[in-house]
Amino acid sequence: MLSGEEFGQLFAAFERTAFRLETLSVYDVEEEREEFERFLAGADMGPDWDDNPWVRSMTDKGKEVTRVHVLRSPLTDYLRYELAAYPGNITAGESISIIDLAEQAVTSLPDHDFWLFDDRDVYRMHYTSEGAFVGAELLPAHRLAEYQGYQDRALAEAVPFADYWERHH
């Protein structure tokens, strides 16, 4: 299992594409706690929310970053926070779509997060029941086609973030 800096290096190392399927309603991220509290208090979120530098560090190199977030409305406070940050990610070049299970019945997707890098390496994400990141497990090559299928289904079923946000914001 990769975590911390080892996991972070995957984002510098991939060459062309990074796809993320997100499935949790709450992520317990130490580095986000202060920002999350500011969001809940209605404070200014700062310039990084307008153009995410982490996403920009990849897309400025011509890399494609795509995310499909599977969620169920009504949104948790954490999901409201995360989705409010997505426009800055999109400005920075990330493609984001949403599957809201309260609005559409989508089956045949995993109940866990994963990253698919360069359409060849799949990392299943592991979290505690509270949403704290435990680590990323590189899945064996024979599982690649299965996860490519999940990616294809998620992208086919998802609605563009802007369309979703316009209806729910």
Per-residue pLDDT band for 130 (boundaries 50, 70, 90) equals very high
Instruction: Report d(CA 146, CA 127) in Å as an integer.
Output: 21
Residue with tokens 């299992």: 1
The CATH code of domain 4-168 reads 3.30.870.10
Percent of the chain past pLDDT 90, that is, above it, reads 92
Q: Averaged over 122-134, what is the pLDDT?
A: 96
Q: Domain segments of the chain: what residues?
A: 4-168
Instruction: Report d(CA 126, CA 123) in Å as an integer.
Output: 9
Q: What angle (nearest 5°) sits at the alpha carbon of residue 37, between those of residues 19 and 44?
A: 85
Per-residue pLDDT band for 47 (boundaries 50, 70, 90) equals confident
Which pTM value belongs to this model?
0.95
What is the pLDDT at residue 46?
87
What the block records as the tokens of 118 is 């360069």
Instruction: Report d(CA 156, CA 148) in Å as an integer.
Output: 12
All residues at 6 or more sequence positions from 63 whose CB lies less than 8 Å from its CB, including other chains:
14, 15, 16, 17, 18
What is the pLDDT at residue 48?
85
